[in-house]
Structure 1
Amino acid sequence: MLISWRSALSLLLASSLFFFDEWISTPSCRFVPRADHDPRDAAADDRDGLKVMIASDLLLMGSDAGFVDTYFGDYYLSKFFKKSFQTLKPDMLVVLGDFSARGSELTRRKWVPVLRQFHRLIGSLITLPFHVILGDRDIGDCSELDSQLVDWISSHLPGLDSAGCGAFEMENITFLSLNSVALLCGNNALRFGVEEVIERESLDFQTEIEGARTEMTNDFSLGKEMSPNFAWRENSMESGSGPVLLLHFPLHPTGRSRNDGQHCHEKAYSNSLVDVNELWQRLAGSGPYESSHNIPPNATEYIFQALRPRIVFSGHSLDFCDYRHQDGTREVTVPAMSWHARDDPGFVIATFRPGKSVGISHCSLGRQSYAIIYIFMLVLLMLMILLVKFLTTFRTIMMAVALL
């Protein structure tokens, strides 16, 4: 009877471990409508379109990873990516900065394990297009910015130039990523490089739009040259006609309203069963900037006027939130996808359709507190099995001694 109970208990242990592992790593997604409840967005979420998985703040430790990170955190982060790609089938992956926990403190030699860790985490998924931008934890604050290090890191990530910016197109949708850390700083080479990218992309978009208008209306001469005194204030683009903008820091919140206030978390750790914030601050350290930090007002206005972004995705704040700026531009802040940053990690799925319609889904992953409780119960159950086995063996020995 004891043998059958031990077998049943072992089977229960193995099956519960399997089902928990699958449950905690499978994302749960909900569609987030716009404030105006445009039905086109809901339709975009249901139909085929360019589906992009957007994550932020992975906070990889590289060679500084301890036992917990290596055999617990990394395992589940890899499972998060694997299950998310299997169930949601995105066409592309975007990471909005801070993919390293202490990158700004690392030498190039120390950076290599971080890059290897990132490639190892996403495994076979690396065959899909992916784009990673730089955050303050990756390259530091204004006093620590090293243009040579930024250039070196950018050269090991697809699509980034020497200033840490990138522009690419998928299915006729243009994406533009900016080194938003440099935009916080004064006059430096990196900031000038970012401004050059903004001006170039603005000019390209205006040229494309004006070219289309010329073909349709024939209002302009084919030989007309654009004014050499082009400036962003002269931008004739309509709001929302520009690229999909990818940033690490959110834009300045002046004139910004929450999407009816119902799609924003109040606090990253509000439902946490453990003080994860304090725990992981000891492990990963604090970043150069607070999570409430954002791009300055003048740089924000400059971006809006020059680019007229279709939609903005930003990270750093650790929380999911859906905002609408004064000019109607939608900004989505992407939650951290790491237990280093919050108890309930997550990411965003953006589905892009023609006609500027974008469907947004907020996806949540298993809580770290649930994993800790489960592991505690698992260890307790294993100890009970060992105790039963020990008592059975002890009883057998005592019976044998009694027979002697």
Structure 2
Amino acid sequence: MVWLRTVSAIAIAFLLAFEEWVSVPVCKVVPSTTTNHVPFRDNPDDLKVMIVADLLLLGSEAGYVNHFFRDYYMSKFFQKSFETLKPDLLLVLGDVSAKGSELTKSKWVSVLHQFYKILGPFVDLPYHVILGDRDIGKCGDLDVNKVNWIAHKLPGLDSSGCGAFEIGNISFVTLNAVALLCGNSSLRFDVEKAIERESLELRGETEGATKTINDYTNFGGANNNFLWRESNALSGSGSVLLLHLPLDQTRNEHYGGIDAFKRSSSSFIEGLNVMPKSRELIGAGLYNLLHTLPLNASEYILQALKPRIIFSAHRHTFSDHVHADTTREITVPAMSWNARDDPGFVIATFQKTGRAGSISYCSVARESHILIVYLSIIVFFCLLCLKG
């Protein structure tokens, strides 16, 4: 059966070549809708950031399919992205775990072990992880002590899940967006304090005058009034803002996607929520992809922090949105086959001076395509064996 051995060798060589080819991400620059599109030129001094979201890992509760197939390819995706794109920083925008809010500490440790194993070469690279609603739970079952414990297991987060850091002369601010939904939670107050600290620092840098505004609307579900200070700093003069939940976008004038098409806010948001039925339930019930921060909380954040750009997640799908004050918000797609068949991520390049930079949407292989290749080879061998 020399011919069968020959065919087997060819098939194995094909699979090895296929795995290498399919693991390389395909990236496309997304032109900004707020500035004239000028070709961006890479500079060695620029900061290149790989931004992923919604890994939805299961840790010790993962089955054989996840351990020996999905995790294997996810690890290859990270490795090839590292080799081909050469990022300087990795950001993970929450939902590392599919159902972390239900896990014991020992099971959470297994999720972290799975996470570090998948990261591969990125473990030696600066990286930052924020908290998502799958990681810490919804307001009804939000455990402050557990949030503190998880936050301390991740680099750069304080006990409330917020953080601030600077790399390559670019500053980043992380907010625990989930806590901002939670009424009179102590975590929410801690997040508001973090916003105020960053706002004070921004006002100190710009020496802008401030005034007090009475906000009479419901912020984060609390039926009480509060005061915020409005900064005269220019829009876009603050840090890069990292969130899990997107800001409210009901007052947006338009959405822009990778195909630069325009739709109404409601219709596009509804489109983001469409996914196969088999992927709607992950861990603890239906995943509400329409969840955003309340309108007044969103305006508070925009006014107080004047972010240079915002990166959010949660919706599993890429979108490029411009707020009324011209702040650009990029929603990063899920990088998990547990969430959708066509995962992806974002590459952001920042220049040390000015707001100029580039955003690229990167896609990785569809699970269905890889399965089709494997099944085709199996069927081919079965047919050969029957004919032999």
TM over 0.5, shorter chain: yes
Greater mean deviation of Cα atoms: 179-188 or 256-265: 256-265
Percent identical residues: 51
Segments of structure 2 that go 5 or more residues without pairing to the other structure are 214-226, 262-267
- Which protein has the larger Cα radius of gyration, Structure 1 or Structure 2? 1
Which secondary structure state, in structure 2, belongs to the residue aligned with residue 111 of structure 1? helix
CA distance 1:72–1:203, shift in 2 (3 Å):
same
Alpha-carbon deviation of 1:112? 0.6
**Structure number having the greater helix percentage:** 1
CA distance 1:26–1:261, shift in 2 (3 Å):
closer
- Which amino acid letter does the alignment assign opposite residue 230 of structure 2? E
Q: Corresponding residue for 2:217?
A: none
> Distance in 1 between the 2:288 and 2:250 partners?
18
> Distance in 2 between the 1:260 and 1:386 partners?
48
Alpha-carbon deviation of 1:371? 1.1
Segments of structure 1 that go 5 or more residues without pairing to the other structure are 214-225, 271-275, 392-404
- Which amino acid letter does the alignment assign opposite residue 242 of structure 1? G
**Structural mapping, 1:2-401, within 5 Å:** 2-3=1-2, 5-40=3-38, 42-44=39-41, 46-48=42-44, 49-210=46-207, 232-256=228-252, 257-259=254-256, 262-263=259-260, 267=271, 277-281=276-280, 284-286=282-284, 289-353=287-351, 354-387=353-386, 391=388
> Distance in 2 between the 1:23 and 1:294 partners?
37
> Distance in 2 between the 1:136 and 1:35 partners?
30
Alpha-carbon deviation of 1:286? 4.9
> Distance in 2 between the 1:314 and 1:238 partners?
22
> Distance in 1 between the 2:149 and 2:366 partners?
35
Alpha-carbon deviation of 1:262? 3.1
The number of residues matched between the two structures is 365
* Residues 93, 242 of structure 2: 8 Å contact kept: yes
TM-score when normalising by structure 2: 0.88
Which secondary structure state, in structure 1, belongs to the residue aligned with residue 21 of structure 2? helix
* Residues 240, 310 of structure 1: 8 Å contact kept: yes
CA distance 1:268–1:302, shift in 2 (3 Å):
closer
Kindly provide the CA deviation profile for residues 264-307 of structure 1, in whole angstroms up to 9, marking residues without a partner as x: 7885698xxxxx8333445x335575111101011101101100
Which secondary structure state, in structure 2, belongs to the residue aligned with residue 248 of structure 1? coil
CA distance 1:85–1:287, shift in 2 (3 Å):
farther
CA distance 1:85–1:268, shift in 2 (3 Å):
farther
Greater mean deviation of Cα atoms: 227-236 or 361-370: 227-236
> Distance in 2 between the 1:329 and 1:320 partners?
17
- Which amino acid letter does the alignment assign opposite residue 258 of structure 1? Y
TM-score when normalising by structure 1: 0.85
Which is bigger in relative contact order (C-alpha 8 A, separation at least 6)?
1
Q: Corresponding residue for 1:221?
A: none
* Residues 268, 342 of structure 1: 8 Å contact kept: no
Alpha-carbon deviation of 1:125? 2.0
* Residues 272, 289 of structure 2: 8 Å contact kept: no
The alignment's C-alpha RMSD in Å is: 2.4
Which secondary structure state, in structure 2, belongs to the residue aligned with residue 181 of structure 1? helix
Greater mean deviation of Cα atoms: 360-369 or 376-385: 376-385
> Distance in 2 between the 1:339 and 1:109 partners?
25
* Residues 24, 367 of structure 1: 8 Å contact kept: no
Kindly provide the CA deviation profile for residues 350-374 of structure 1, in whole angstroms up to 9, marking residues without a partner as x: 0001201131000000001101111
